[in-house]
Chains A and B, each alone.
Chain A
Amino acid sequence: MAKQLYYEDVDEGGDIPPLVKHPTPRQLVMWAGASGDYHEIHYNKEFALSRGLPDIIVHGQLACCFLGQLITDWIGEEGVLKKLSCSYRGMNFPGEDLICQGKVTGKYVEDGGHYIECNIWAGNPQGEKTVLGTAVVMLPARGQGQ
């Protein structure tokens, strides 16, 4: 696991280390089972085609959880994810890389808590952003030894 990230380590405009996911049809089936989302557009190609889609598509909510992983990987054990939002704008397909990225948009201290705000997004290999979102995390500060 990555080393602990501290509030002082983060600069406005800085990038979150990207997370590249490789969703497969098998993963979408596992997600269907874990999440209870059994919409056939996510695992039955014939059905997806009949709905005018070019292939089965990655669940939006799974992409949202990938963005959650992007954040929890970055903030380390002592960081806390406070808020995360996702807006589903496009489709991701299994067999294609799904690239999760983010950028720090602000940092502030409130009631003794050290907070970071970020824009986050998921994209396809063509560089199109398919999920847009934001996140707020709380980080430990140096010299705050507990």
Chain B
Amino acid sequence: MAEDLLVSGELKSKIGVELISGEYEIEKGMIQRFVQAVDDPNPLWQDIAPPLFVVVLGFSEFDKQMAKLMGARLHGGTEFEYFKPVRPGDVITASRKIADVREREGKKLGKMAFVTFEITYKNQNGELVAKCRQTAIGYKPHEEKNG
């Protein structure tokens, strides 16, 4: 299904489509797991989350949504904008939508779709804490060419 979307250019019609949003209660342990995984011993991260922490919120479900839309894909890039710190006890809502779709012919991978997802993170007071644009590159694995 995802491959058909890529072929027909139908992905383009999905620009602006809102994906499922998620609500996440921030616990100290979540931040500690993140900090330990990055191996970032900065003592500041005892009381506030590192700026990039929010990118992991709901990533696995977001990844499933991308899989459904795009099939095989690579991670192309991340653009992150930070507005307010996130602290334990906050409740963060992540709203995701498809912001852009571009198609391009690649040398190695054949026809590719660059799909940019825009994710907005707000806290329990409705304040914008961060924005993120994630670009995924969809391709058709069977048409992978050598060299």
Which residues of A are in contact with B by a Cβ distance under 8 Å?
A: 1, 21, 27, 30-31, 33-38, 60-62, 64-66, 68-69, 72-73, 77, 80-88
Q: How large is the interface on B (under 10, 10 to 19, 20 to 34, 35 or more residues)?
A: 20 to 34
Structural contact, A82 and B63, CB atoms closer than 8 A: no
Of A66, A77, A86, most buried by chain B (CB within 10 Å of CB) is A86
B42 / chain A contacts, CB cutoff of 8 Å: 1, 69, 72-73
CB distance from A81 to the nearest CB of B (A): 5
The answer to whether B124 has its CB under 8 Å from any CB of chain A is no
The answer to whether B79 has its CB under 8 Å from any CB of chain A is yes
With contacts A77-B44, A82-B82, A84-B80 taken as known, whether A27 is within 8 angstroms of B56 at the C-beta atoms is no
Contact of A81 among B33, B38, B51 (CB under 8 A): B51
Which residues of B are in contact with A by a Cβ distance under 8 Å?
A: 30, 33-34, 36-40, 42-44, 50-52, 55-56, 58-61, 63, 74-82
CA distance A32 to B40 in the complex (A): 16
B40 / chain A contacts, CB cutoff of 8 Å: 65, 69, 72
